[in-house]
Every structure is written in structure tokens, then in C-alpha cells.
Amino acid sequence: MKIMSILDPKCIILPLKGKEKKEIIRELIDVLAQNKKIKEKDKEEVFKCVMEREKLGSTGVGLGVAIPHGRTQAVDRIVAALGISPEGVEFDTLDGEPVHFAFLIVSPLEATSDYLRAISYVARLFKDKFFREALKNASSVEEAIKIIKQEDNF
């Protein structure tokens, strides 16, 4: 799997405007709707499914990374949005540290294996300290895309 197969470059936000978990998740869902990855009328359903998942345990996995995700009938394929916050934001993370990267993944209900594979791949990708540092220091969305594509090729 390649990140860019689920992440449209137009769905990358740099910098994130939100300062806490719910704001960030709404911001990422809004960019999916603006770019026709989800329907405007389905934004609230997508938000609810992601927040239901958050109730099970924070998707702020540590190392400055959050991977909020959910499964819903509002999408017919896996879609993603990435938000980057160079200064970091509050996300109720497992390690208590601020989040610099919020990678939202929304999947159809029936795509279980691809959904789990996408989450796993994103988690592995963001474990790389050099990748995180390069992405955190990206000065534009174009630069972030270049960094992601470079890592995607390995």
C-alpha cells in the first residue's frame, strides 16, 4: 500500500488551525468534504464514527502522531486527510505529548482488511524519526507531498 493511494494531495492541511482533538478532526473532515471525498451531508456521520472510535481509546499514538479513524457507510472507498501542526496541538495522546501529525482515515464498513492495513502502514511510516522531522519542517503542502512520495517509494 502507498499513502498517496488513499491521500489526495488536496487533503493535506499545513498548518492545522485547530488547537484540540475535536477541532482537528472536524478540520480534516471538512477538507475531505471540500474535495468531494465525502458528501457534505455526511460530515456529521463521519465525525460521529471517528469520535465513537476515540471513546475506545485515543488514536493519539505517541511520537507526535494521531491516526483518528472510523468505518462508515458514508464512503465507498478508503479516504484520508493529513493535518500538520509544526507547533503541536492537544490530542489526549497516550504519551501526553502534543500532536504534530493527524492522519485521518475513513473506510467503508466492508473494507476491514484494507482499513487495518492502511492504519498499520501509516503507523509504521510515522515511526521513522527522520520522516517525522522532515514532514514537521515542511514549509508547504508541495514539500510535504514530496517527502511523503519519497518515503512511499521505499
Q: Which residues pair with 101 in a beta bridge?
A: 65, 84
Q: CA-CA distance, 29 to 151, in Å (whole number)? A: 25
Residues taking part in catalysis:
69
116-124: long-range contacts (C-beta < 8 A, 24 or more apart)? 117/1, 118/1, 118/6, 118/78, 118/80, 119/67, 119/69, 121/1, 121/3, 122/3, 122/67, 122/80, 123/61, 123/65, 123/67
DSSP code for 147: H
CB 99 within 8 A of CB 60: yes
In this prediction, residue 154 carries a pLDDT of: 67
In this prediction, residue 152 carries a pLDDT of: 85
In this prediction, residue 1 carries a pLDDT of: 80
Instruction: Please provide the size of the chain in residues.
Output: 154
For domain 3-152, give the CATH number: 3.40.930.10
Q: What is the pTM of this model?
A: 0.96
Task: Note down pLDDT in tens along the chain; length 154 residues.
Answer: 889 999 999 999 999 999 999 999 999 999 999 999 999 999 999 999 999 999 999 999 999 999 999 999 999 999 999 999 999 999 989 899 999 999 999 999 998 899 999 999 999 999 999 999 999 999 999 999 999 999 987 6
User: Domain map of the chain by residue range?
Assistant: 3-152
